[in-house]
Structure formats: structure tokens, C-alpha cells
A and B are shown apart, each in its own frame.
Chain A
Amino acid sequence: MKRYGFFGMLVFTMGCGEPEKVPDNTPPLVEPSGFVDTSSQRRVRRLSAEQFHNSLQVATNQAWSKYERFAAALGRADFGETTSEGGDISVTFDKLVHDAARETCLAAVEADVQMADNVILRHVSLADRDLPKLSANLRYLFLRFLAVQIDADDDARFSPWLTLLQTKADGELSDNDMQMRWAAVCVGLVTHPDFLTY
């Protein structure tokens, strides 16, 4: 908030004419009311099997070891027997995406811890618990995985993720806890609709 206020004040004092931005924590508009002409727009699609596999590697820097085995179940066509790419978000797809996410995310965080790959833990270490660092890393991960750029630390979109990273029923979070929590964040991002569609 302090930094945001500083930026807002700076913009205001420079006389650029922009109204001061106030953090907007209202939930996004999911179902706009009124008529929306969608006839000339692009339709959202699910990642193909190959796109998912490639993107998972770019996002986590890890390859899913079982991809070839399950590529057909994810929808990859062979054009001998199956002539169109599968695009359904089916139970099978969801299950396999979670399997892939768990394997690659656990490996990615482990690689960050053991070899300082800085893929998932780029702006934090397992020892960090303070909000600015957690938010900075979440901001980076949102961009890396979802192509979503968030400026404010207190943006409502961070809330559930911060809860995951900061809450424990009893006692304090250990470094081992944090390693699992960051892996869980990674899994959450890989299985997020914004990752699986475009």
C-alpha cells in the first residue's frame, strides 16, 4: 500500500491528468448483463495435448514423464484412427492434468531448493514468510503461468493464494511446509482455467 500510494501521489503531482487509482477489490464481472455481440469474436479453446505438454515444460522447466503414454487420452489425434484433436475438458483430461501438475511442480520446487533453479521460487526462499516477498513471487508466477500482470500487492486475486501460503491450523509453517505450499501454488496455477485455455 505504501508503494502504491507513493506511485499514485507521484502520478498526481506530475499533473498527467489521470485520476488517482484506488485499489479495486470487487470481484470480476463473471456474467455481464445486457446484450453482448459475440458473433465476430474468437472463441476460447482448451490447450491441445501438445500445447499443454509444451507449456507445462515452459512454465515449470520440467517434463511430464508420462506424457507419451497418456497423450491420446489428453486428446492427441493420430490421424490414422482419430482425425481431430480432442478439446473437451473431460474428467479424464482434468485427472491427467492434475497428475502432470503434481509431478512437474514437485520436481520444479525441489530443483529450486536443491539447485537454485529459481523457476518457482524466484523472489522468495523457503524461509520467507513476509507478505511483500510472497506477493512479489505470486505476481511473478501469475505472469509466468497465466499471462496475468498484477501491480498491487493487495490485489484481491492474490487472496486465496496468500491464504494457502500463510495459514496453518496450529503452530508455525516450517520450511518443509513452505516447500509443499509453493508446490501446491504451482499445481493450482497449472490446473487453473486461465492456464488450460486461451
Chain B
Amino acid sequence: MNRTALGAIVIATLILGQLFGQSVALADSPRVCGPTDSIDKYRLLRQLSLDLRGTIPTVAEYEALHEQTDVSADVLEAMLSSDAYFTQVRGYHRSLIWAGLEDGMSIVTNRRRLASAGNRPYRIKQLRRRYRGRSDIECFNREQIEFDAEGRPIPMEVTVDSTCRRNECRREGYVRIAPYWAPDTSIKICAYDAQDYELDLNGNRCGVFNTNPGCGCGQDLRNCLPTGGTEAHSRVRDALAEESTRIFEATIRAGKSYFDAFTTRTTYVNGLLSHFYRYLSGEVALELANGRAYDHQIDNIPVLAFDDPAWVPVERNSVHSGVLTTPGFHLRFTSNRARTNRFYSAFRCEPFVSSEGLPAEMSATPNPNLRERPGCAACHQSLERAAAHWGRWRTDGEFGFFDEPSMDFSAQREDCQRCTGSECSSFCDSYFITANNSSHPDELSQWQGYPRARAWLSEGEAGAIETGPSGLVTAQTDRDTIATCTVRNLAQHLLNRELSEDELLVWVPSLTSQFAESGYNFQSLTRNLVTDERYRTIR
């Protein structure tokens, strides 16, 4: 638009405004650096675009404002329905739920991590003893050319040595495979690690948790993942972290109640997660330790190419609770208390901060019931009850559901109840009260052999274990608290400041009522906030 045309529009607007008795804003931006009552339409458009789309407007969008007195409702609605807005929605919720997994975190068991050094073949470091008889023996950096009738590699070298497993060490060569994460390439991988058989040497099914020497990484190496720090590993890890934000996005995009994000069975997977759920997790090996993903409770995982970027909906089983039962959330927050703390901090605005402080001295045998221990009780009274909602889910860096046959919360598990020292499996020590993880006579007498998630809960409180995390958002009082916190969080985010006491007493309840009337529609809440006068004034 040239200068003359712009001037003509300004004049025409002034004249029309005069004729129709309207107050029309001049186009010229104000010359104010200090606090201002109201930002002009161009800066408002910029502010809206940055908050709702994550970027400044185009010059064409600015120029379209020349003929407008203000940013129109249509422009706002276009922003609120744009894909860029939903990208911001994901980012906003990512910051609430801390949806990120550390670079160093491995998302598969170390018995399924492939690594190579220099030009040497890929292999699973932790399975060297199983495959070759000793943990310091690598395969040869020569191609494997001899295989038996079943196609299993014939070792190139066999040595009898008492330091080897079953007094025998063996070394094979490598084979070339086009791996699933880079199908257009060919990598060298030790022949034992590359095996692809349906059954192991004992006739059991091969899979992600079966490390029998007769099993390898499977077809296209699908049961293994390059070690942490590699691109493939980082991409799967980031997809796991992103899954929960996709649930928030889908809930908000569909105009559903915000609470659905905490209760829905639907999740979303792309090619990376489809592969992770199908081939890098599983429901077998209940008691196997140091895995990552076990029983995910998803029956029909869509078959997507590893590189498929589209996120598609998947119905999970009824035990799931929205974002609160995603592997990304569980691997990020590895204890039920940590999961509760993040949920309470982010969605109830009630972080667990002790008001009474720790006692000056801790007793030599502190009360194992944190709900009664001085200095801990104030937080743990509610923390323990809420944490019980994740009682059927794995902890300590693992993801997976314990169904009723796997874990009985009403009885002692015999092997975990009677074991001591090295007799106790890591499964018992991780998930049950045992002689190894408790020394307090009161705890051992009452709870030894019971799941840790059950300890110190009353019968009524233990009901939360079966309800699952969705039970945290079903009571109306809980919903009111979460709705108020949602309003407060978003208001503070958009205003970039803490709300005043007056605002918390009057403005937030008013907005929360509107939020409830809209059916807890997050877009509606956003619209109400960005059209509020507070949003238009800056300092």
C-alpha cells in the first residue's frame, strides 16, 4: 500500500467516524515508552500473535489493520483455530507438566541398547557374556559367512577357558543389516546380536525381554535401539515426552472439557511411538528388573512407519487416565510421590511445601509412616493418599501397569514377605515392603510382603489404587480447585506476572465461573483472558 492510499484511508476513516459519531483511532503509533493505559492495535496484534501463535504477524496482517479500528474478533478467532495456536498449546502444557526427558536417560533396557565403537560392529554391550561367554569379548570385525542349517551363526573361534561361561568362549563375525531407524543404510552388527528367530534355544518366544543367546534384536533390529545420544534414541525419547502434550492439544482442539485430558483413554502415537509400543515394550517378564516399558495396556497399536510424523489417535485400555498414565510422564517422574507433586503443583496450584519445617533432630528410628513423622506429616498426609492413585503403575524409571493377577494389594506376596538379603528379587525390593528396604519393626510387622503402594493406607484410602489417577479429577471439589488453578496459571502466563490478592479473590473466581459455564473449554478461557482490559495494558 503506498503512502497516498494510506493517507486516503486514514482521512476516509476519520470522516466516516465523524459522520457516524464513532471514535476512530489514528493510525500513527503512540510515542510512549512508559506505562500506558492501552496498547495500540498494532502492538496488540503483535502481542496476540506472539502469545497465541508464537511468532510476530506478517506485514500483510499489520497492513490489514490500517482499515480497522482494532484487532477484530475474526482475527482473534483465526488465531485461536490455527495450527500455530495448537503448537503453543502443546508448548504451554509441556512447561506445566515438565514434558521432557533428560538427554542421558535411556528409554530401553541396557540389554536392548546397541552401541559401536569407531568402525567396529554394533553390539549389545550387556549381552556379551551371554552371547560369547565373557563380558570382555567382542565379535570379530570380519563378515560372518558360515551359518548352520537353521541359519544361526557358526562361531569363527571357540576357546575352552574356565573364565568363560560354561567354560567356553566363542566369537562370531558381523552381518550387515538395514536397521529400521535408517532403512536406506546398512550397518555392521555382530551376528549373535542380529539374530531374528521366533523362538529361543529353549523354545520360548523371542522378544524385547528375552535375552536368551538364541534371540537377537529381531527383524530389522526392531527389538533394539541405538544407545543414548544417537539421533534415533533422541527422537524416540522426545516423542515419548511429547505424547502427553498431544493429549492436551487434542482435548482442546476438539473443544472438550479440560478434565478429559486427565481421564481420556485416547492417546496419540506417531511412527516413533508406534515402534516403541510394539517392539520396545511388552507385557512379559513381570519380575525382570531394569527394563523400561512393560505392560502398556494398549491392545491395538497402529502400524506406522518409523519415520511417519503424523500423530494418530489410539484407544488405550480402561485403566488409563489421560496424560497421567503416559510413559513420558512416568519416566519423567519416577515415583508416585513425584507424579503427585507435579500434578498438584501444575494443576491444583498446591505445591507440597512444608509450613512447619523439619524437626531439629531426627529420631534414630524415625516413624516409617510419613503421615505421622514430624516435619513430614503436613505434606504427606495428603501426598500419600493422592499418590495411591498410581499404585498399579510401575515406578523407579519403569513404565507399565500391574493387573490384578500380577499384584494383589489385599494380601502379602509370599516370596517378598519371607525373603532376606540377596534372596529378595529386585522386583520384591522395588515394589514390596521387604526386609531389605525396611528395618522398622512396626512397618515390617504390619506391611512386610505387601505392595509398597498399599502401606499405611486405610481400607478406604486404598480404593484409590483401583480407581487410578483419573480419580484425582472426579470430585467436584477437586474439579473446582483444578479449574481455578487452570485460570490462574493461564492468566499469569499471559500477563507475565503473579496475580494480586484482589485479582485472586474477585477476577479469578469470575473467570473460573465462565470457564465452568463453557464446559471447561480452554479456548474459551483463552479468549476471555486476551480480551480482558488487563491484557491490553502493559508496564
Contacts and interface: CB of A to CB of B under 8 A. Distances in A.
Interface in A8-56: 10-11, 14, 16-18, 24, 27-32, 36, 38-45, 47, 50-51, 54-55
Interface of A: 3, 7, 10-11, 14, 16-18, 24, 27-32, 36, 38-45, 47, 50-51, 54-55, 57-59, 77-81, 83-85, 132, 136, 139-140, 143-145, 147-152, 157, 198
B98 A55 contact: no
A1 to B, nearest CB: 13
Q: Interface centre among A3, A132, A144, by most B CB within 10 Å?
A: A144
Contacts of A24: 31
B105 interface: yes
A101 B62 CA distance: 22
Contact of B537 (A40, A83, A143): A40
Given A42-B534, A151-B27, A143 B63 contact: yes
B494 A42 contact: yes
Nearest to B507: A40
B55 A150 contact: no
Top-8 shortest CB links A-B: A79-B100, A54-B55, A80-B102, A80-B100, A38-B539, A28-B31, A147-B46, A41-B537
24 contacts: A11-B11, A14-B15, A28-B31, A40-B534, A42-B495, A42-B497, A43-B539, A55-B56, A57-B55, A79-B94, A80-B102, A83-B95, A136-B2, A143-B42, A143-B59, A143-B63, A147-B29, A147-B46, A147-B62, A148-B42, A148-B43, A149-B28, A150-B28, A198-B43
A29 B14 CA distance: 26
B503 interface: yes
Contacts of A42: 494-497, 534-539
Interface string B98-111: 11111101000000
A140 B28 CA distance: 13
A77 B95 contact: yes
B62 A143 contact: yes
B101 A39 contact: no
Contacts of A30: 33-34
B236 interface: no
B50 A55 contact: yes
Given A27-B31, A81-B100, 4 more contacts: A3-B4, A16-B14, A24-B31, A78-B100
Contacts of B28: 149-152
B32 to A, nearest CB: 6
B3 to A, nearest CB: 6
A7 B28 CA distance: 14
Given A7-B10, A28-B31, A40-B503, A84 B95 contact: yes
Contact of B539 (A11, A27, A44, A145): A44
Nearest to A59: B56
B33 A28 contact: yes
Nearest to B46: A147
B103 A80 contact: yes
B45 interface: yes
Interface of B: 2-4, 6-7, 10-11, 14-15, 18, 27-29, 31-35, 40, 42-43, 45-47, 50, 54-59, 62-63, 66, 91, 94-95, 98-103, 105, 241, 332, 494-497, 500, 503, 534-539
Contact of B332 (A55, A59, A80): A80
B101 A80 contact: yes
Contacts of B495: 41-43
A50 B54 contact: yes
Nearest to B6: A151
A86 to B, nearest CB: 12
Nearest to B536: A42
A131 B425 CA distance: 83
Contacts of B100: 77-81, 83
A11 B241 CA distance: 60
Contacts of B496: 42-45
Contact of B55 (A31, A43, A58, A151): A58
A144 B56 CA distance: 9
B98 A3 contact: no
Given A41-B537, A143-B59, A151-B28, A17 B11 contact: no
A79 B241 contact: yes
Contacts of A10: 11
A72 to B, nearest CB: 11
A29 to B, nearest CB: 6
Contact of A41 (B43, B55, B91, B539): B539
A41 B34 contact: no
A81 B101 CA distance: 8
Contact of A51 (B3, B55, B503): B55
B34 A147 contact: no
Contacts of A47: 50
Contacts of B503: 40
Contact of A39 (B33, B58, B63, B500): B500
B35 A32 contact: yes
A161 to B, nearest CB: 15
B35 A38 contact: yes
B45 A41 contact: no
Contacts of A16: 14-15, 18
Given A54-B55, A147-B43, A147-B62, A44 B105 contact: no
Contacts of A40: 500, 503, 534, 537
Contact of B62 (A17, A79, A144): A144
